[in-house]
Structure 1
Amino acid sequence: MTERVLYLIGCAAGPTQYIDEGVRQAQACGWDTCLILTPSAARWWDPRIGELEELTGHRVRSQYKLPGEKDSLPKADAMLVAPLSCTSLNKWGNGISDTLALGLPSEGVHMGVPVAAMPYFNRAQGAQPAVARSIADLRAQGVVFLDGPSGYESHPPKQGDPQSFPWHAALDAVGSLAGDAP
Structure 2
Amino acid sequence: MSTLYLFASAAEPVFDIARVIEDAQADGWDVCLGLTPAAARWLAGSLDGLAVLTAHPVRWDAPLPGEPEVWPAASAVLFAPATFAAVNQWALGIADSFVVGFAAEGIGQGIPMVAMPCVSAAHARHPQFERSVEALRGAGVSVLVPDDPAVGFSWPLALSAVRERIAVG
Report the TM range for the smaller structure's normalisation.
over 0.9
Q: How does 1:127-166 map to 2 (within 5 A)?
A: 127-148=125-146, 153-155=148-150, 160=151, 165-166=153-154
| Corresponding position of 2:63 | 65
Identity of aligned residues (%): 39
CA distance in 1, matches of 2:24, 2:96: 26
Match of 2:161 among 165, 173, 181: 173
Deviation per residue, 1:139-170 (Å, 9 max, x gap): 11000001136xxx323xxxx48xxx421111
| Corresponding position of 1:56 | 54
**Tell me, which stretches of 5 or more residues in structure 1 are unaligned?**
none
| Corresponding position of 1:126 | 124
CA distance in 2, matches of 1:101, 1:68: 19
| Corresponding position of 2:105 | 107
**Quick check: 1:126–1:154 contact (8 Å CA) kept in 2?**
yes
| Corresponding position of 1:18 | 16
The answer on 1:98 being equivalent to 2:90 is no
Post-superposition offset of 1:180? 7.4
Post-superposition offset of 1:34? 0.3
Moved over 4 A (4+): none
| Corresponding position of 1:88 | 86
CA distance in 1, matches of 2:145, 2:132: 13
- Of stretches 30-39 and 120-129 in structure 1, the one that deviates more from structure 2 is 120-129
Post-superposition offset of 1:172? 0.9
Q: In structure 2, what residue type is equivalent to 1:100?
A: F
**Quick check: 1:42–1:62 contact (8 Å CA) kept in 2?**
yes
CA distance in 1, matches of 2:5, 2:149: 24
CA distance in 2, matches of 1:180, 1:60: 29
Deviation per residue, 1:30-71 (Å, 9 max, x gap): 100000000110011112211100110100000000000001
**Quick check: 1:25–1:167 contact (8 Å CA) kept in 2?**
no
Q: In structure 1, what residue type is equivalent to 2:162?
A: V
Post-superposition offset of 1:94? 0.9
SS at structure 2 position matched to 1:179: helix
Taking structure 1 as the reference length, the TM-score comes to: 0.88
Q: In structure 2, what residue type is equivalent to 1:168?
A: P
